[in-house]
Structure 1
Amino acid sequence: MKKILLLAMLLCSMPQFAQKTFEVYNFTSQTVQLADIATKPSGATVYPEFHSKPSGLISIPPGGSYTLVNTANLYRFPLYSPSSSPVIPTWERLTSPSPGTNMASTAAWPLATSQVFKELFFYVGSAYKSISVTSPVVPLQPGGWQADYVEDNPAPNVWFYTIVIY
């Protein structure tokens, strides 16, 4: 059932023809708050990373979703996503484990050519969790919810990074 639901959501998103799309769906009865969306370079390189945390929490109501998308470039992660609500105005760029530099999303976006999704830190109610490429499942929680991450590459240079919290 989970796979069918995820596939249906991906197919509904295809008409946008976004090259790299990041999606979070909230099918719980609680508000989900995104605390930090983190990216990393594709491949074995660790840095630079980009983090959305300087922009604050993004709330997703029950039954709602949040999407980052920018179809203007084939290869960039959508750090600049003018159609998102709310828009993430500032990203932190890390080039080492030391604190990074905050930059406007319009300045960060040209630097995101090789960036891919790394990890999402989020709240469901008061529960703080993370989900990532290396840990793509949050098992059933005491509040009765769980989460899954799916990465899909349905065509060359088309990537969907989808997280479903249910």
Structure 2
Amino acid sequence: MVKRTSHQDVPCGVARPLDAIGDGWSLLIVRDCFGGLTRFGEFQRSLGLAKNILAARLRNLLDHGILDTVPAADGGAHLEYRLTDKGRALFPLLVALRQWGEDYFFAPGEAHVRLVDRERGQPLRPLEVHARDGRLLAPDDTMVDWSRVSGR
């Protein structure tokens, strides 16, 4: 398997997390965790992923503190994978990715699964980006501030 370039020393909040979640399988594992899956076999059935690749992705998510292992809830000898606080903090990212995918990767009227509010059964409102003072921001309203990076 080709070793990917690490972004751990890059002073960018988009690049660094890619070491942990920068491949589709890792995000799909996290998605499945939010859906209640906890066991290796459940992930394998859901994703159809080879055992060695699944094991590598799970190990990477564990190494980055996104998942943790806990004793099986049923008292069995196996371990279960659970999202850590860091992993649960990925929820808005997955919601944004899902909403973007729904908007741009399905034909009008094409059936697809939806994320809904458990209490009301209603689709979620589209995510928005707001300034600290509450103003709605578009890409042109933001900039990358390099002034805090040493050497710049």
TM-score (norm 2): 0.24
State the structure with bigger RCO (CA 8 A, min sep 6), 1 or 2.
1
Q: Which has the higher helix share?
A: 2
Report which of the two structures shows the higher radius of gyration computed on alpha carbons: 2
TM-score, normalised to structure 1's length?
0.23
Which structure features the higher share of strand residues? 1
